[in-house]
Amino acid sequence: MSAPGAVLTRRPVGGGSGHPDPDRPRLGGTFAQVALALVCAGYTTGASLGWGSPRLALFMGDFGLSAAAFTAAVSCFLYGRTHRGDTRPAWLLFAFSSFMAASGNAVWGWYEVVLRAEVPDSSAADLFFLLFAPPAIVGLLVLAKKPVTRAGWVCLGLDAWLIGGSLLTLSWSLALARTAHFEGEPVAQAALALAYPLLDIVLVSMVLVLHFRRSQANRSATNTAIAALALTVLCDALFTSPLLRENYASGQLLDAGWFAGSLLLAYAPWGVRRPPDTAAAPRGPWLHSRPVAGSLAALTPYLAAAVCTLGILYNVVEGRRVDRVVVLTGCTVVLALVVRQGIMLLDNIALTHELAQKENHFRSLVQGSSDVIMIAAPTGTLRYVSPAASGVYGRDADDLIGSELASLIHPDDLGAVVHEVRRFLAVSPADEPTTRIECRFRSGRGDWLNVESTVNRHQGGLIFNSRDVTERVRLQAQLQHNAEHDPLTDLPNRALFTRRVRQALAGRRSSDQGTAVLFIDLDGFKGVNDRLGHQAGDDLLVQAARRLHDSVRAGDTAARLGGDEFAALILGDGGRDRAARRNQVQEIADRLRLTLSQPYRVDGGNEVRVAASIGVAFAEPGIEAGALLRNADLAMYRAKAAGKDRVELYAPQMQAEVVRRTELAARLRTALHEGEFALLHQPVVDLATGRISAVSAQARWRSSQGILFTPAEYLRVTDDGERTAELGRWLFEEAVEQAAERAGIGHRTPVSVRLSARRLLDRSLPLGSVESLLTRHGLPSGSLIVELADSDPRTSLDELEQRLVALRRLGVRIALDGFGSGHVAINALRRLPVDILKLDRGLVEGVVESARLRKITRGVLRIAGELGMRTVAEGVDVPEQVVALRAMGCSHAQGMAFSGPLDEYRLRRALVRDEYPLPGAVPVRAGNRPPIRSNNETPVPPT
């Protein structure tokens, strides 16, 4: 047997659904049944023993039956009053019927027990007893399952007459004919004698009809009521027989049947009842009893005809003349049988036609459906497959019928399918009528299709309503891939990379400290993007991603985090030598740096180069994925800050430095408004005379903790462009204001202020503001020098030239700062109106030691001289540099060789002296020569 077949034939264990069995009686119901059985058994025992005395026997036979019937009346009445529903009138009618029986027995006891007299042949008791049957008959009709058509109502009446007529024929032949021919008795007495058996026959007929047509609502109460009335009718039938009636006396065993019937009727509405939903999910023996009950209902007309035939044959066998009542009754029964069969024939024809229409309708739906409908037998064999299989699976339905379901499911999915089917069959159908299964199904083309099936139960097997969802699964997989991968390089993105790092730290490698994360940034990528365009930049990123992917192992992960940032997860090898593992990973990072630094061919053949700054962080015990990624990121930024194109390993002090920089940046935001910034000036000395030709304005930040920071220190900790611009505006205004104050007291030395090309073109610093600033403070013409800092290559030289020309018209002189580094080039000398050329510190620091650098510096100075520019060497810190620069033709210098930045008070003292000693020059008088390290007066570190 196949695996699904074994599942389908497996019976769920009782109680597996988690719901109590509705057929199991509750504890209170069990006590009531036991009490009922004990009371009935006690009454039966007393009746069989004669109760010990004739007097007590009469009392229990009359008033005992009256009490039992009255109990039934009260019970049915209370139930009918407190419970709403379609069966409420039936219980009220049963209450009235039981009350009539109680009254009749009470009248009987009045005569026999109280009056100690014979009960008259016609008394009030007979009236009460006759009124017992009609309400019970109508109540049974209420409990019967209501027909939905006129033909159904006619068949219900014919079935009742068939049963009643057959019983009348039989009883008339056996006993009633004699009762009807008593001579000398009044007609009323004879009618009364016939009324009892006739009403009992009608009641028996309704009991039998109701047994086959009972409603499914409250079946337990209905069955108990039918049993109670059946027991009562049986006792009535025995009492009606002449043999028992002549010898009957109250308190005998026959009364026990009436007593038990009344108590059963009293118990019926309050007994154990099934929940309403159990009818929808029948189980157990009821499945087998239903066809038997249906067969008996179908045989009812034929049984009735057989009973009539037996009644007539009895008269013939006894040699009696066939009674006209028997003949008339038999004829009506046969006529009713013919009419009923005709109605059933027409009804069957209509049902057959309707069934054929519905079958054609559903066959059309099944055959025209795009879903495949399959029915699997309990053995797992396919018994039916809809024609849609040829279009969906590429296999004919006839070829699939008879196949094992397990042979069509992918082996990797079979276990999950079997598990789901077992779980589904163990659950109650009312709780979970269907389930959904998704697996791979073998197609006729030899490939595997993703199939989604809705599964229902069907006669011990299963119905599969299946559809091909292969395209949907592919689309979902593609969407999942797109959500986890970079669209340009197809490498894992940040989300997937973070998840894999988390898995590596949480899995069996959690204790492996050899696992490392590499953060990679491409140095110079922005320049490629700006110079050649975004398409060239995308080509470079794709090639870099391919190189990175090819450089890592199969189990490692390469990812693109965004922009020009990449990352790699290098899983540990489980080794214990931590130092060796660190060296190995660093070698991997170095090789990766060299690989990424190789030339790239982009945008149709342009060759470009970029470098790679790589930060490495190793996993530590207990570290989380976010912390490990942050450590690698910090190491990468340290690599960029240390000069780029290098590998840095994470160290704990990097985190402390980040905290310090963050705190410093936070304090910097309020430092300017709280007056923590001060303006200092460094003298620019004429190398020919030693006099001060200009002063360079520089800002210093003295924090509230007393720490003094240079611009290189405090501007490095912030990327707040607005804060930097605000500081630049303050520096510019403060320098102009102090220069005007010095000019007012006779020190007309020009002040130079460093501004970037971007700031000069910024709309927040319009031309009118410079002019109004010079006019407001009365700064003479030629007293302001704007040092053009390193310009952005994207800056338009045309706009910059126009702006500088406008500034020169205001008497502002222009200096080209930092010549020899960055992006300042010969093109700027050619295009821009420059008055002063400031040599970068890089051309000055090694000018004494390096002959090659002296040639470069001499060439720059010669170009400036031929262009008529004044030259200023920046960062001249030792006397040897002064001698070398003056020999090469440099005209001015600033640096620690003369003075550091001075505050306003010391600057004015220096301007009063206005002379610094020049190394190698003719010495001046000692009284006029200021100290060469005058900056010692102000403890300010150099820029």
Which residues share a beta bridge with 752?
696, 785
**C-beta separation of 605 from 544 below 8 A:** no
Q: Output 619 or 336, whichever has higher pLDDT.
A: 619
Is pLDDT of 338 > 90? no
**C-beta separation of 668 from 717 below 8 A:** yes
How far is the C-alpha of 202 from the C-alpha of 408, rounded, in Å? Answer: 62
How far is the C-alpha of 255 from the C-alpha of 249, rounded, in Å? Answer: 9
Is pLDDT of 931 > 50? no
pLDDT of residue 726: 75
**C-beta separation of 854 from 888 below 8 A:** yes
pLDDT of residue 508: 59
pLDDT digits (tens, 9 = 90+) for 398-431: 888 888 888 889 999 999 999 998 898 888 888 8
Is pLDDT of 283 > 50? no
pLDDT band at 150, cuts 50/70/90? confident
Percent above pLDDT 90 for the chain: 19
Structure tokens, 316: 């013939």
Q: Return the closest-CA partner of residue 844 out of 824, 819, 814, 822.
A: 819
pLDDT digits (tens, 9 = 90+) for 876-907: 999 999 999 999 999 999 999 999 999 888 99
Q: What is the mean pLDDT of residues 337-347?
A: 75
Residue 439 exposed, middle or buried by CB count within 10 Å (0-12, 13-18, 19+): buried
pLDDT digits (tens, 9 = 90+) for 225-235: 778 877 877 77
pLDDT digits (tens, 9 = 90+) for 178-222: 555 444 455 444 444 545 555 555 555 555 555 545 555 567 777
Is pLDDT of 138 > 50? yes
Is pLDDT of 641 > 50? yes
**C-beta separation of 634 from 650 below 8 A:** yes
459: left (phi over 0), alpha (psi -120 to 50) or beta: left
**C-beta separation of 884 from 847 below 8 A:** yes
pLDDT digits (tens, 9 = 90+) for 738-750: 999 998 888 889 9
The DSSP code sequence of 406-467 is GGGB-HHHHHHHHHHHHHHHHS-TTT-SEEEEEEEEE-TTSSEEEEEEEEEEETTEEEEEEE
**C-beta separation of 707 from 932 below 8 A:** no
pLDDT of residue 282: 41
pLDDT digits (tens, 9 = 90+) for 826-865: 667 778 888 999 888 888 888 888 888 889 889 889 988 8
pLDDT digits (tens, 9 = 90+) for 477-503: 899 999 999 999 999 999 999 999 998
How far is the C-alpha of 719 from the C-alpha of 299, rounded, in Å? Answer: 98
Structure tokens, 830: 């050619």
Integer CA distances (angstroms), 814 to 322, 629, 787, 870, in order: 147, 47, 6, 11
Q: Output 115 or 665, whichever has higher pLDDT.
A: 115
How far is the C-alpha of 289 from the C-alpha of 696, rounded, in Å? Answer: 112
Integer CA distances (angstroms), 283 to 29, 430, 461, in order: 22, 12, 15
Lowest mean pLDDT among 142-146, 345-349, 653-657: 142-146
**What order do you get walking across the sheet with 448-458 strand by strand?**
382-385, 372-376, 461-468, 448-458, 434-442
Is pLDDT of 589 > 80? yes
Cβ neighbours of residue 791 closer than 8 Å, sequence gap 6 or more: 756, 757, 758, 800, 823, 824, 828
> CB 804: neighbour CB atoms within 10 A?
21
Average pLDDT value for the chain = 77
pLDDT digits (tens, 9 = 90+) for 654-704: 877 777 777 777 777 777 777 778 889 999 999 999 999 999 998 888 776
How far is the C-alpha of 885 from the C-alpha of 872, rounded, in Å? Answer: 10
**C-beta separation of 477 from 465 below 8 A:** no
pLDDT of residue 386: 85
Q: What angle do CA 323, 328, 329 make, to 5 degrees?
A: 100
Is pLDDT of 616 > 90? yes
Structure tokens, 482: 């797109």
Q: Which amino acid is at 213?
A: R
pLDDT of residue 543: 93
First to last CA, the chain: 89
